[in-house]
Amino acid sequence: MRTKNYRARGKNTPPAETVRVIPLGGLDEIGKNMTVLEYKDEMLIIDCGMTFPSDEMYGIDIVIPDMSYVVENANKLKGVIITHGHEDHIGGIPYLLKRLSVPVYGTALTLGLIQNKLTEHDLRADLKEIMPGDRLQIGSFRIEVLNMTHSIAGACAFAIDTPAGVIFHTGDFKVDYTPLKGDPIDFQRFAEIGQRGVLLLMADSTNVERKGYTKSEKIVAATLDNIFSTTKGRIIVATFASNVNRVQYLIDLAVQHKRKVAVSGRSMINIVAIASELGYLDVPEGTLIDISRINSLRDDEVLLITTGSQGEPMSALTRMASNDHKNVKIKPGDTVVLSSSPIPGNEKTITNVVNNLLEKGANVIYSDIADIHVSGHPCQEELKLIHSLLKPKYFVPVHGEFKHLHTHAELAESLGMDKDHIFVLHNGSVLKLREDKAETEKTDIPAGSVMVDGLGVGDVGKIVLRDRKLLSESGLIIVVTAVQHETGQLITGPEIISRGFVYVRESEDLMSAARDVVANALDTCRERGLTDWSSMKNSVRDELRQFIYEQTKRSPIILPIFLEV
Ligand SMILES: [Zn+2]
Ligand SMILES: [Zn+2]
């Protein structure tokens, strides 16, 4: 059994210590990653991400983990270590730092992106820069920082030496032996850490359903080379702003082919600025031009790098495709490259953008027809490599929906791990980890989704969402009447106002009949002596709801308002 390779931590070790591992986000979902490690009166957090709202979450801006457990134990919290600068790993940080103060550790680019968020939220924080190879001591946790290859620069894994043993968190990664920039993973060091003994592995499960290997970024580079050598017209490339190395490659190609580079889209402009300042991007003097200048250049002198590779409705590329962009009008001869593949759920919007671009005569290159994007996450063979090098005693798959976690558990088992050493957890589970034993606690810790709407954090719950859903489906009817309180006598009205229900001017008859229904309901109430507000409101609501449903088969929200005279 390979799990026997785990070595006890020396002969004179005192009685086994317990560390609690508590995922607060990132399980049963791809998004809002956050894990707490707890030892006695000390806590360490790995990542603090956000996720985008589902279609059902009307009006919600973002979703963050429930941090109440951390806030309640704020005095224990020693630090937050961040694997990399993607939103699902850093997006929750401002909301954590609004409630407590704690040092945040990350590589330079990660911290640059975090600082940008903190500035937007008008927050200050103690940001501590780390680099691969660093060893830091945070409370009782001794952390080794390891370089990882991923779709953003500055990504790392953490080997955390805890009083129970080593917990290894991969962060997000792929195994890229030939990254465009920076170093590949140091497998020799991984093997050494595995040799010394890893108690628990937590590893990225995003692509675990895919066989084989994720291709190298070099493949994308080759496709881009080809496009630049054969294209005479303007080149417009949409890609993920955070893929700084790919953006660098595009800039290098532009220089080589004597094109100037314009940048479009807020996040692209932001990240190019941050990455250049921190030295992750090398942009030769005079290469970057303002987007307003591109129309004064020849077509073969233009490269435009833009956001919108997911067809996001307000993004720069979507606006170009629908002729809505201030500086860029798509024309025949343009080559538009979508250097991305659709995140599940975005297929339809991307297809719309591609159709619109094609209609305007552009040549469109996207992932279905060329090797123009590779994933940043590991497929099965890469995961097997990492498991085999680290040889963990226990394993918790992370960063995936349940099906991904489940498949990753099977993969670990196929490599010879004991089934009862593998824990498919959910958010809020507590894994009690000891050198010789791991088990989940019976009671979970609160770990739901907290919805953020504007400045409100967590004030939109199920009931508000249900109302928003109803409003969006059938609209709203407001009934206004002036009533004499003692007698229930109708003084004026009823007036009926509606929004999102029917166009009133074309439905005079319906509205007039609805007014009669309300007046009758009030008469009936008065006859029965039910002249208290709530009886009258309920009666109006019920009668009108029934009438509207019979007439239209719709159920708008009905809001009676009584003015007392
Ligand atoms: Zn991620
Ligand atoms: Zn990532």
pLDDT tens sequence across 357-400: 999 999 999 988 889 999 999 999 999 999 999 999 999 999 99
Ligand nearest to the CA of 85: 2
Q: Which residues contact 72 (CB under 8 A, 6 or more apart)?
A: none
More confident residue, 456 or 229: 229
Instruction: Say if residue 192's pLDDT is above 90.
Output: yes
Instruction: Say if residue 262's pLDDT is above 90.
Output: yes
Give SS3 for 228.
Answer: helix
The CA 473 to ligand 2 mean position distance, Å, reads 35
Identify the band that residue 3 occupies on the pLDDT scale cut at 50, 70 and 90.
Answer: very low
Q: Per-residue DSSP letters for 308-345?
A: -TT--TTSHHHHHHTT--SS----TT-EEEEES-PPTT
The CA 537 to ligand 2 mean position distance, Å, reads 52
Q: For residues 265 and 286, what is the distance between their CA atoms, to the nearest angstrom?
A: 20
Reduced DSSP (H G I as helix, E B as strand, rest coil) percent helix, strand, coil of the chain, to 5: 35, 25, 40
Identify the band that residue 462 occupies on the pLDDT scale cut at 50, 70 and 90.
Answer: confident
Question: Any idea which of 260-264, 292-296, 350-354, 465-469 has the lowest mean pLDDT?
Answer: 465-469
Q: What is the pLDDT of residue 33?
A: 98
Q: What is the pLDDT of residues 491-511, one digit of tens each?
A: 787 888 888 887 777 778 888
Ranges of each domain in the chain: 21-212+375-457, 217-365, 475-564
* CA atoms within a 13 Å half-sphere pointing along the CA-CB vector of 139: 22
Instruction: Say if residue 530's pLDDT is above 80.
Output: no
Overall average pLDDT of the 148-152 stretch = 96
Q: What is the pLDDT of residue 466?
A: 87
Q: What is the pLDDT of residues 28-39, one digit of tens each?
A: 999 999 999 999
The CA 341 to ligand 2 mean position distance, Å, reads 15
Contact 204, 173 (CB under 8 A): yes
Identify the band that residue 2 occupies on the pLDDT scale cut at 50, 70 and 90.
Answer: very low
Instruction: Say if residue 320's pLDDT is above 60.
Output: yes
The CA 366 to ligand 1 mean position distance, Å, reads 23
More confident residue, 398 or 313: 398
Q: For residues 66 and 488, what is the distance between their CA atoms, to the nearest angstrom?
A: 48
Ligand nearest to the CA of 113: 2
**Among 213, 238, 235, 215, which residue's Cα sits nearest to residue 225?**
235
Q: Per-residue DSSP letters for 399-418?
A: SB-HHHHHHHHHHHHHTT--
Give SS3 for 22.
Answer: strand
Ligand nearest to the CA of 50: 1
Cα 266 from chain centroid (whole Å): 17
Instruction: Say if residue 14's pLDDT is above 70.
Output: no
Q: What is the pLDDT of residue 368?
A: 85
Question: Any idea which of 83-92, 108-117, 206-215, 474-483 has the lowest mean pLDDT?
Answer: 474-483
Ligand nearest to the CA of 51: 1
Ligand nearest to the CA of 148: 2
Q: What is the pLDDT of residue 238?
A: 95
The CA 347 to ligand 1 mean position distance, Å, reads 20
The CA 51 to ligand 1 mean position distance, Å, reads 10
**Alpha carbon separation from 480 to 489, 537, 547 (Å, rounded):** 14, 11, 17
Instruction: Say if residue 6's pLDDT is above 70.
Output: no
Q: Which helix (H) or strand (E) holds 363?
A: strand 363-365
User: Helices 266-277 and 244-256 meet at what angle, rounded to 10?
Assistant: 80
Q: What is the pLDDT of residue 415?
A: 97
Overall average pLDDT of the 133-158 stretch = 97
Overall average pLDDT of the 166-181 stretch = 96
Q: What is the pLDDT of residues 436-448, one digit of tens each?
A: 999 999 999 999 8
**CATH of region 475-564:** 3.10.20.580
Instruction: Say if residue 470's pLDDT is above 50.
Output: yes
Give SS3 for 264.
Answer: strand
Taken as a whole, the chain contains a residue count of 565
Q: What is the pLDDT of residue 336?
A: 96
Class of domain 21-212+375-457: alpha beta
Q: Does domain 217-365 sit in CATH 3.40.50.1100?
A: no
Q: Which residues contact 164 (CB under 8 A, 6 or more apart)?
A: 16, 17, 18, 19, 39, 199, 433, 434, 435
The CA 88 to ligand 2 mean position distance, Å, reads 7
Nearby residues for ligand 2 (ion, Cβ within 5 Å): 86, 172
Instruction: Say if residue 182's pLDDT is above 80.
Output: yes
A 10 A CB-CB count for 466 gives 12
The CA 351 to ligand 2 mean position distance, Å, reads 24
Q: What is the pLDDT of residue 10?
A: 54
Q: What is the pLDDT of residue 341?
A: 86
Q: Which residue is associated with the tokens 């990660």?
A: 110
Cβ-based burial of 27 (10 A; exposed 0-12, middle 13-18, buried ≥19): buried
Catalytic residues: 204, 377
Q: Per-residue DSSP letters for 494-530?
A: EEEEEESS--GGG-HHHHHHHHHHHHHHHHHHHHTT-
The CA 67 to ligand 1 mean position distance, Å, reads 19
More confident residue, 54 or 208: 208
Amino acid identity for residue 303 in this structure? L
**Among 83, 77, 55, 73, which residue's Cα sits nearest to residue 155?**
83
Contact 457, 450 (CB under 8 A): yes
Identify the band that residue 81 occupies on the pLDDT scale cut at 50, 70 and 90.
Answer: very high
Ligand nearest to the CA of 33: 1
The CA 150 to ligand 2 mean position distance, Å, reads 7
Instruction: Say if residue 152's pLDDT is above 50.
Output: yes
Overall average pLDDT of the 127-139 stretch = 98
Q: Which helix (H) or strand (E) holds 63?
A: strand 62-65
Task: Please give the mean pLDDT across all residues of the chain.
Answer: 92
Overall average pLDDT of the 310-317 stretch = 88
